[in-house]
């Protein structure tokens, strides 16, 4: 095991994949820049050469088409975008091209593309540089959608994504890039479609994704001091989603709170609530709940983002309400970090 950051785990996965298979290539805006997409692509060009690691024009749609053509001819492209928002220009290629190919050609030809998209908020990112649109991608048949929360899963899930025969959208929250954890050495892959129980509990199930898992764990740490035991499930993969793990947990606890980093309407959290209500209605002790972003564009202003994001205090308040308990004092016990547009005082970047 190696102690490393989330960003370094991404970098190690790319090095591992490109070493294992000469067909893997890596390209995108900033891939060969000195900052190397928050450090995630550092050293790749020097090790594997300009033919396999390169920058690209600011032409997302065209360069995604290049990736599809390459994939159809035996290449495994890893395409990187420093913001999810920039990739919206290429949705036609992804949705009407890559995602449909395997189905339209009778499962005889697939498109093994991995699309790395950085998302996340704070520090003035505003409405066009911070969107969490995983529900969009999960809505499309033929796409797999991955959202790791830990360095270990960042490496293991990226390796699985690169060697999956069909297109995978790999979403990285920038507030996670500097988090630290242990990762296994070598080619150790985390299966797509399997969630992970981050904390066992008896009273309520918290289902989360990406950075929301960190907030869920903070809330669970506080709630245990109030006599409430939370089971925290990190989905890891949004599509396919580990329904068996979610259902098993909810049957055990009888309560569900789904957490989502995207907008509320049409969210993954809403789908989870709907499925649990449909399939496990008789096992619920209280109506299921969800917390997600408000249905308004994210402000750029530091002042306007105060209280805008779902944080540990919001989760703890909702859990207390679902347990029939007073939430008095919760927000004082779990204040927003200062400044409030970072995950905590330990956060030093990247911008």
Which residue in the list 16, 45, 81, 129 is annotated as catalytic?
A: 129
Which is it for the CA torsion 176, 181, 187, 189, positive or negative?
negative
**Could you tell me which of 236, 248, 245, 134 has the C-alpha nearest to residue 190?**
236
Provide the CA 28 distance to its chain's centre, in angstroms: 19
Neighbours of 321 (CB within 10 A): 14
Which residue in the list 16, 60, 172, 231 is annotated as catalytic?
A: 60
**Could you tell me which of 205, 195, 121, 207 has the C-alpha nearest to residue 153?**
195
Question: In whole angstroms, what is the distance from residue 120 CA to residue 250 CA?
Answer: 29
Question: In whole angstroms, what is the distance from residue 51 CA to residue 26 CA?
Answer: 9
DSSP codes of every residue in 9-64: HHHHHHHHHHHH-TTEEEEETTTTSTTHHHHTTTTHHHHH-TTTEE---S-HHHHH
- Told to judge if 16 belongs to the known catalytic residues of this protein, a careful annotator would answer no
- Told to judge if 139 belongs to the known catalytic residues of this protein, a careful annotator would answer no
Neighbours of 191 (CB within 10 A): 11
Question: In whole angstroms, what is the distance from residue 228 CA to residue 206 CA?
Answer: 12
Residue 238's φ and ψ, nearest 5 degrees, are: -85, -35
Q: Encoding tokens for residue 135?
A: 């529900």
Where residue 20 falls (left for φ over 0; alpha for ψ -120 to 50; beta otherwise) is alpha
Question: In whole angstroms, what is the distance from residue 288 CA to residue 276 CA?
Answer: 8
Rg (CA), the chain: 20
Q: Could you tell me which residues come within 8 angstroms of residue 343 by beta carbon, excluding any fewer than 6 positions away?
A: 122, 175, 211, 214, 337
Question: In whole angstroms, what is the distance from residue 61 CA to residue 79 CA?
Answer: 12
Instruction: Tell me the catalytic residues.
Output: 60, 129
């Amino acid at each position: 095991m190696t102690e490393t950051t989330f960003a370094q785990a991404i970098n190690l996965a790319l090095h591992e994949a490109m070493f294992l298979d000469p067909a893997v290539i890596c390209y995108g805006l900033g891939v060969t820049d000195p900052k190397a997409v928050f450090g995630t692509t550092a050293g790749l060009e020097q090790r594997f050469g300009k033919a396999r690691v390169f920058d690209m024009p600011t032409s997302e749609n065209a360069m995604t088409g290049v990736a599809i053509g390459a994939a159809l001819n035996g290449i495994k492209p890893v395409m990187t975008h420093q913001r999810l928002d920039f990739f919206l220009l290429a949705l036609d290629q992804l949705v009407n091209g890559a995602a449909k190919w395997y189905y339209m050609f009778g499962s005889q030809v697939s498109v093994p593309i991995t699309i790395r998209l950085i998302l996340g908020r704070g520090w003035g990112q505003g409405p066009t540089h911070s969107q969490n649109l995983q529900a969009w991608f999960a809505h499309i048949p033929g796409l797999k959608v991955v959202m790791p929360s830990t360095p270990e899963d960042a490496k293991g899930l990226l390796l699985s994504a690169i060697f999956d025969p069909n297109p995978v959208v790999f979403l990285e929250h920038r507030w996670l890039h500097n988090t630290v954890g242990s990762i296994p050495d070598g080619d150790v892959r985390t299966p797509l479609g399997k969630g992970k129980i981050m904390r066992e509990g008896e009273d309520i199930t918290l289902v989360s994704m990406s950075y929301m898992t960190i907030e869920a764990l903070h809330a669970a740490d506080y709630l245990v001091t109030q006599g409430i035991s939370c089971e925290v499930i990190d989905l890891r993969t949004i599509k396919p989603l580990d329904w068996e793990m979610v259902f098993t947990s909810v049957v055990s606890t009888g309560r569900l709170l789904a957490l989502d980093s995207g907008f509320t309407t049409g969210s993954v959290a809403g789908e989870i609530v709907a499925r649990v209500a449909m399939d496990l209605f008789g096992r619920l002790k209280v109506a299921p709940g969800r917390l997600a972003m408000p249905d308004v564009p994210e402000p750029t202003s530091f002042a306007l983002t105060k209280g805008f994001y779902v944080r540990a205090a919001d989760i703890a308040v909702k859990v207390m309400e679902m347990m029939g308990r007073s939430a008095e004092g919760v927000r004082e016990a779990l204040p927003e970090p200062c400044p409030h547009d970072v995950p905590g005082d330990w956060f030093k970047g990247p911008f």
